[in-house]
Structure 1
Amino acid sequence: MTSTDKLRNIGPKSAAWLRQVGLRTREDLAAVGTVEAFMRVKRAGFKPTLNLLYAIEGALQDCHWQEIPDTRRSELIIAADAAIAQLPPPRYKPAAAPVTTTQMSEDSSMAMPTLFDEPGERD
């Protein structure tokens, strides 16, 4: 967004993100829509929050982002969640797996070494 094309709700950081993904004008945003604009920012590696989603919608509707009705917010969240679910897993990070916890009884015969134990020395 240029200074002559200032959009409501879009601050400097959001404007920079949108410019970096090729969305420079209100017409650019309207052409791709709220969710796709949000997803382009996300796919570019930035970490947008729901505030950006609402800000884009407010900019397109020419209203303050807090004036967006709850039903529309819910629609946007559902659409964004569905789009996020289609993203590939992050590179260089394993996919999240369920976490399991193992508990050992206190009378366990296997004593855990402490930080200062010498190898082979256990209580």
Structure 2
Amino acid sequence: MAALTTIRNIGPSFAAALQGVGIKTAEELRDIGADAAYARILESGAKPHFIGYYVLHMALQGRPWNDCKGDEKKALRKSFDKIKAQSFDQDLSEFEAILDRIGVGKRMDKS
């Protein structure tokens, strides 16, 4: 099994974020794919960042991180916005996010 950092554009910091959500190897990352991996990162409480999202896509294609341009970048932005809407709760406090990460469960609906 290859280390995450063997994938172009995946440095120690990004690898640590992936490992923190249970993706330990390059093979696991390739199997799960960029969208599902990024969704896990957001669900863990990380703040969304479009560049990180498309860097992950470029990494899994073996392309330079800054190779994403034009229509491809626009399409990835739409995917990013969808994942962000589904996976990131900006109203979740840091404490609540920690509780979610350790498996205590999501907050109750406030309605």
Structure possessing the higher radius of gyration over alpha carbons: 1
1:88–1:15 CA distance, 2 compared to 1 (3 A): closer
1:88 CA drift (Å): 6.7
Task: For residue 87 of structure 1, report the CA deviation from its aligned partner.
Answer: 3.9
Q: Which has the higher contact order (CA 8 A, sep 6+)?
A: 2
C-alpha spacing 1:50/1:18, structure 2 compared with 1 (3 Å): same
Q: TM-score if structure 1 supplies the norm length?
A: 0.62
Matching residue of 2:99 = none
Task: Say if 1:86 and 1:66 are closer, same or farther in 2 by CA, change over 3 A.
Answer: same
CA distance in 1, matches of 2:87, 2:38: 13
Deviations 1:34-89 (A, max 9, x none): 12211111110122422211221111110101112422222221112112222474
Stretches of structure 1 lacking an aligned partner (at least 5 in a row): 93-123
SS in 2 for 1:40: helix
Where in structure 2 are there 5+ consecutive unaligned residues?
Answer: 94-111
Q: Which residue is equivalent to 2:20?
A: 20
1:39 and 1:80 in contact (8 A); partners too: no
TM-score normalised to the size of structure 2? 0.68
Counterparts in 2 of 1:12 and 1:88: CA distance versus 1, 3 Å: closer
Give me the whole-angstrom Cα distance separating, in 2, the residues matched to 1:87 and 1:57. 17
